């Protein structure tokens, strides 16, 4: 029976980062060359100057010794190294005539049985598993013909010579070519609790030439073909660690804690730091007394006949302290989704938060979540309602401020996990106190080790849902956390020349703050007014430092423009990037906005209609919602297409703005272009918020991470002469191109006075397509230029030269590795009775419109 990771309910659900799978190093096996058509037949050629090339084939048989590294849980091969073996080849005959009329003659050579071996050129041989599972670069390996003799007579008018080629003295090599593949198929009938058995199949394409000195002449041997190997390998298991964790993780000096452990298939287990051997071996708790005032790392070691594995955890011991404040601020630093092998989190969530003085609970009268993005019914007030069925959720992953009404003393706290999605649980945070919210003092820092601020410390938050953490004591002296910049943003971010913008900040655990090109600032939070230079994109960098010398910084961009206007019937809004592409945001399955508004001066101008060409909206969230005047509704498009506004007739517009929707900040547009038209066919650039005008090669993002339901300040329509052009499309129809076939490049630009493509193409129209014939891997660069500057776009195609000219197989199982898949192409079964992904290698070729395969 194959051993799978059993998720035991010991202290709640077990997640992959809590389980350590191990394998017993590298395993060895013997692989045999299979006797099948189209494989293990080596084409041999001999080229002698001024003579015809002689050709023959040798059929290969025998064995190859190999070592593999295979994950016994999923069968993924990460290493394949050929170490020896014995291959034999059938005798060959190579013959040819002279190609010179003045020197007629011929040669005829025959060999005895050939011998050879497959080598890994620079062991070990890694398996990349790219582009597909089991794929590797065949160039890491080679076939050496290092045994046998080729002999015969070379005769002509000027020479008669007996040739005796000893391959042992002068080997011929066929180096690996293209992409090789190693496939592993789990054998449940042969596997057990100690070993996983896999059938192994290897395809290795080879093909190269070797020059050999034969008397006075230099002759060239060529060898090419596909080697197919098959065999079995048995992978022994090491112990499987399910859990090693402290309970509780943070204790008061002098208190004890338990180290819980759960391991499978271990014959022995122990814990260092003087704890010693464990009995029972596989499941239990060992009570320890951690050293006072320190973070101590304990390492659990489990072993069996195949070897040993380890896992470590850290226990914190602190002197009991307390804090007396009216306000307490909880700022998350890391979520469980930020840890390795955990799905990323789109939000933070907690069901309840409690504070204590001794055994007495201190209940806040209010909880707020400044700048938070909360779905309906999941606001910060749910943290203090004592109801496990409710929760606070914030898509912006921001802080919570608890207000006790007056100063209270707390010496412990705890929180309860929510009902779902453990990746949203906090595992690192800062707790601060304040009496007036102007200045904050650090109460607790679950972020870094007490003895080394360069190493992260993560809390072992329960994986069980609706479960409380152990009470966490307030330390007398908290660890020094790294500073955190929770917010640094301008308002407005795009403004008219000569206007000022406010740079607002909110920080935690910083002892000094400085804005580059402005100077030092004070206060954990605040704002300053700045006057950016005209007609440019200016950057401001906030640097926060703490007493331990750690620094963090955030850079933002502010754009200034000359006020312009747009006079068109139609305006087209095209998103270029969503917030999902920025650090700290999750993937987005759509674009969404609640409202979109236009202005002429201070007068709002309402479009008559709006459309979403190519869009795909759910019921109740169609495009009309973006101009319905209700910020409680929204437009959502799964295809992430743009909007076309129709004002009924030519209308003057000087500014525009939008309102974010109710959830998922990753769906917000942060980069876009705006175009105008009077006929709906010919478009002129109105605004381009895609590139840094001071550095056109740099993408920009504005108004990212706004609160839910927030409206941007009015975005001024710029003077048209200040706009960089837009390359909205530059693509080719074949990222992988078969040689001697055409590539079609297609593009669309706006706002450009000149558009050109390199690689000899030259100047092109603003929108169009062209057919080209690249003969090698080629990158095409498009340059669009306006009075404001130039922008570029690129497309790369990889040219593939097929190694075969036709496909002729009754059964695709007979094919060698000369057939390969390009890019992310894959073969799936076309039969309902074969479950996907299936184990039947069939390829269906369907004639195209011209009746050709």
Residue 181 CB coordination number (10 Å): 21
Peptide bond into 492 cis (omega under 30): yes
Can you give the pLDDT at residue 843?
Answer: 53
Burial of 754 from C-beta contacts in 10 A (0-12 / 13-18 / 19+): middle
DSSP string for 763-829 = EE-SEEEEEE--SS-EEEEEEEEETTEEEEEEEEEEEE--S-S----SSGGG--TTS---TT-----
CA distances from 443 to 224, 325, 405, 474, 792 (A): 71, 10, 19, 7, 51
Residue 737 CB coordination number (10 Å): 22
Half-sphere exposure of 108 (CA within 13 A, CB side): 1
The phi, psi pair for 627, rounded to 5°, reads -130, 25
Peptide bond into 386 cis (omega under 30): no
Residues 584, 586, 587, 589: what is their CA dihedral angle, to the nearest 10 degrees? Answer: -130
Half-sphere exposure of 201 (CA within 13 A, CB side): 12
CA angle, 826 then 828 then 830, to 5°: 145
CA angle, 431 then 435 then 439, to 5°: 70
DSSP string for 574-590 = EEEEEGGGSTT----S-
What residues contact 602, with CB distance under 8 A and at least 6 apart?
none
Collect the ranges in the chain with pLDDT lower than 70: 1-25, 72-73, 214-217, 801-853
Q: For the segment 688-729, what is each residue's pLDDT rounded down to a tens digit? A: 999 998 888 899 999 998 989 999 999 999 998 889 999 989
Q: How far apart are CA 86 and CA 24, in angstroms?
A: 27
Burial of 357 from C-beta contacts in 10 A (0-12 / 13-18 / 19+): middle
CA angle, 469 then 471 then 473, to 5°: 130
Q: Which two tokens stand for residue 765?
A: 């129209």
User: Three-class SS string for 142-183?
Assistant: EEEEEECEEEEEEEECCCEEEEEEECCCCCEEEEECCEEEEE
Q: How far apart are CA 696 and CA 645, in angstroms?
A: 28
Asked if 221 contacts 89 with a C-beta cutoff of 8 angstroms, the reply is: no
If you compute the radius of gyration of the chain from its CA atoms, what whole number of angstroms results? 35
DSSP state at residue 193: S
Peptide bond into 837 cis (omega under 30): yes
Nearest to 439 by CA among 527, 510, 504, 370: 510
Q: In what order do the strands lie in the sheet with 743-750?
A: 726-732, 743-750, 767-772
Half-sphere exposure of 801 (CA within 13 A, CB side): 6
The phi, psi pair for 138, rounded to 5°, reads -65, -20
What is the pTM (predicted TM-score) of this model? 0.61
Q: Find where tokens 């998922």 sit.
A: 664
Per DSSP, the three-state class of 381 is: helix
Percent of the chain as helix, strand, coil, to the nearest 5: 5, 50, 45
DSSP string for 626-681 = GGSS-TTS-EEETT---EEEEEEEEEEE-EEEEE--SS-GGGSEEEEEEEEESSSS
CA distances from 837 to 71, 130, 267, 334 (A): 20, 18, 37, 37
Helix (DSSP H) and strand (DSSP E) numbers for the chain: 0, 63
What residues contact 197, with CB distance under 8 A and at least 6 apart?
186, 187, 190, 191, 232, 233, 234, 235
Q: How far apart are CA 783 and CA 785, in angstroms?
A: 6
Nearest to 559 by CA among 676, 674, 717: 717
Q: How far apart are CA 194 and CA 199, in angstroms?
A: 17
């Amino acid at each position: 029976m194959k051993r799978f990771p059993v998720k035991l309910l010991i202290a709640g659900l077990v997640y992959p980062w809590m389980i350590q799978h191990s394998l017993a190093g590298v395993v060895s096996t013997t692989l045999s060359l299979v006797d099948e058509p189209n494989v293990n037949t080596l084409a041999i050629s001999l080229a002698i100057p001024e003579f015809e090339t002689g050709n023959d084939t040798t059929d290969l048989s025998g064995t190859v010794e190999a070592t593999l590294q295979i994950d016994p849980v999923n069968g993924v091969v990460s290493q394949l190294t050929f170490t020896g073996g014995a291959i034999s080849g059938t005798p060959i005959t190579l013959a040819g005539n002279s190609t010179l009329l003045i020197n007629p003659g011929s040669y005829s050579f025959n060999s005895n049985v050939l011998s050879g071996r497959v080598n890994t050129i620079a062991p070990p041989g890694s398996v990349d598993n790219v582009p597909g599972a089991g794929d590797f670069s065949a160039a890491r390996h080679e076939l050496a013909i290092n045994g046998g003799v080729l002999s015969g007579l070379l005769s002509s008018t000027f020479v008669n010579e007996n040739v005796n080629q000893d391959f042992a003295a002068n080997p011929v090599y066929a180096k690996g070519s293209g992409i090789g593949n190693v496939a592993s198929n789990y054998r449940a009938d042969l596997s057990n609790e100690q070993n996983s058995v896999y059938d192994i199949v290897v395809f290795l394409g080879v093909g190269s030439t070797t020059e050999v000195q034969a008397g006075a002449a230099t002759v060239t041997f060529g060898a090419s073909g596909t080697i197919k190997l098959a065999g079995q390998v048995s992978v022994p298991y090491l112990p499987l660690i399910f859990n090693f964790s402290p309970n509780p993780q943070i204790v008061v000096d002098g208190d004890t804690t338990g180290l819980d452990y759960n391991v499978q298939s271990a014959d022995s287990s122990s814990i260092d730091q003087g704890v010693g051997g464990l009995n029972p071996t596989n499941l239990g708790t060992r009570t320890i007394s951690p050293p006072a005032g320190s973070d101590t790392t304990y390492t659990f070691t489990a072993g069996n006949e195949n070897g040993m594995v380890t896992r470590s955890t850290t226990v914190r011991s602190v002197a009991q302290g307390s804090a007396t404040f009216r306000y307490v601020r909880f700022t998350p630093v890391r979520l469980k989704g930020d840890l390795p092998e955990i799905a990323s989190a789109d939000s933070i969530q907690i069901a309840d938060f409690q504070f204590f003085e001794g055994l007495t609970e201190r209940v806040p009268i209010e909880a707020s979540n400044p700048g938070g993005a909360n779905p309906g019914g999941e606001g910060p007030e749910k943290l203090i309602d004592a109801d496990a069925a409710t929760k606070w959720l914030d898509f912006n992953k921001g802080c919570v401020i608890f207000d006790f009404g007056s100063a209270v003393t707390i010496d412990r706290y705890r929180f309860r996990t929510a009902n779902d999605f453990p990746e949203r649980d906090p595992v690192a945070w800062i707790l601060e106190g304040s009496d007036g919210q102007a200045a904050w003092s650090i109460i607790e820092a679950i972020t870094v080790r007490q003895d080394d601020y360069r190493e992260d410390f993560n809390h072992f938050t329960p994986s069980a849902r609706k479960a409380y953490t152990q009470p966490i004591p307030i330390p007398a002296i908290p660890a020094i956390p790294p500073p955190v910049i929770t917010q640094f943003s301008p308002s407005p971010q795009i403004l008219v020349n000569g206007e000022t913008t406010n740079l607002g900040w909110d920080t935690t655990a910083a002892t000094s703050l400085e804005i580059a090109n402005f100077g030092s600032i004070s206060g954990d939070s605040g704002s300053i007014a700045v006057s950016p230079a005209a007609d440019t994109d200016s950057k401001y960098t906030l640097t926060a430092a703490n007493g331990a010398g750690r620094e963090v910084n955030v850079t933002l961009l502010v754009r200034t423009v000359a006020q312009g206007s747009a006079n068109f019937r139609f305006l087209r809004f095209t998103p270029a990037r969503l917030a999902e592409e920025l650090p700290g945001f999750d993937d987005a399955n759509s674009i969404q906005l609640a409202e979109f508004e236009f202005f002429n001066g201070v007068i709002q101008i309402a479009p008559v209609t709006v459309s979403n060409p190519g869009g795909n909206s759910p019921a109740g969230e169609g495009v009309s919602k973006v101009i319905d005047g209700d910020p409680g509704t929204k437009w959502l498009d799964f295809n992430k297409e743009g909007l076309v506004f129709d004002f009924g007739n030519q209308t003057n517009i000087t500014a525009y703005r939008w309102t974010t929707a109710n959830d998922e900040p990753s769906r917000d547009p942060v980069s876009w272009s705006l175009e105008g038209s009077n006929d709906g066919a010919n478009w002129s650039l109105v605004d381009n918020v895609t590139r840094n005008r001071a550095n056109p090669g740099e993408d920009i993002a504005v108004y990212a991470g706004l609160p839910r339901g927030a409206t941007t300040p009015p975005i001024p329509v710029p003077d048209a002469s200040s706009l960089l052009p837009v390359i909205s499309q530059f693509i080719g129809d074949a990222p992988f191109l078969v040689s001697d076939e055409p590539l079609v490049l297609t593009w669309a630009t706006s706002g450009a006075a000149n558009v050109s493509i390199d690689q000899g193409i030259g100047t092109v129209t603003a929108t169009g397509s062209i057919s080209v014939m690249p003969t090698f891997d080629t990158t095409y660069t498009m340059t669009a230029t306006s009075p404001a500057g130039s922008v570029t776009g690129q497309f790369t195609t990889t040219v593939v030269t097929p190694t075969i000219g036709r496909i002729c197989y009754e059964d695709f199982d007979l094919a060698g590795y000369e057939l390969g898949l390009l890019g992310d192409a894959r073969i799936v079964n076309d039969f309902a009775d074969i479950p996907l992904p299936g184990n039947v290698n069939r390829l269906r070729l369907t004639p195209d419109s011209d009746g050709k395969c």
